[in-house]
Amino acid sequence: MLTFLGFLFIFAGVVSFMISSIGLLRMPDLYSRIHAGAKSPTLATLLVVIGTIFLEPAWAPKLLLLAFFVLATNPLSSSVIARASHKVDVPHLNSDHVDELKLYEEKKLAEETAAREVLLEQETVEEKATEEENTEEKK
């Protein structure tokens, strides 16, 4: 029974890998391909690992460590690739796309600039007050 379940999970993993590869070929832009190349292979790898655990229970600790590593790194790496692509302005296929991340970054930059200007203004006011005090002390 465990052998059957093992092969069933491995077969499901292989099917998931095949669906992922089709998605990588058929998706229209980079961001969609990243999604197809991250979600489905993670699931496929986990299914193959579970199937292998059913087939070889002695390998379970190492395989669980492998599954944890895949769960931790695959989504993170695809996120980093997507962020880097966004920073170098890789275009979206949809021309009506609203770039919320770019709007957020512009808003944050504007707030930081305004905060710096306020600090500079406060510093100049303090410097003038210090200069006035020094001139009064000299008199």
pTM recorded for the entire structure: 0.69
pLDDT number for residue 13: 96
| Domain shared by 89 and 102, yes or no | no
Residue 22: which domain range? Answer: 1-94
Residue 124 pLDDT > 80: yes
What's the pLDDT tens digit per position in 18-77? 999 998 899 888 888 888 888 889 999 999 999 999 999 999 999 999 999 999 999 899
| Domain shared by 123 and 68, yes or no | no
- Identify the residue with better confidence: 96 or 80: 80
Neighbour-count burial for 16-39, b at 16+ CB within 10 Å, e otherwise: bbeebeebbeebeebbbbbebbbb
Sign of the Cα pseudo-torsion (37, 43, 44, 45, in order) = positive
Residue 4 pLDDT > 90: yes
Number of domains in the chain: 2
Nearest to 78 by CA among 32, 47, 122: 32
| Domain shared by 58 and 106, yes or no | no
- Identify the residue with better confidence: 98 or 114: 114
Say how far apart CA 64 and CA 56 lie, in whole Å.
12
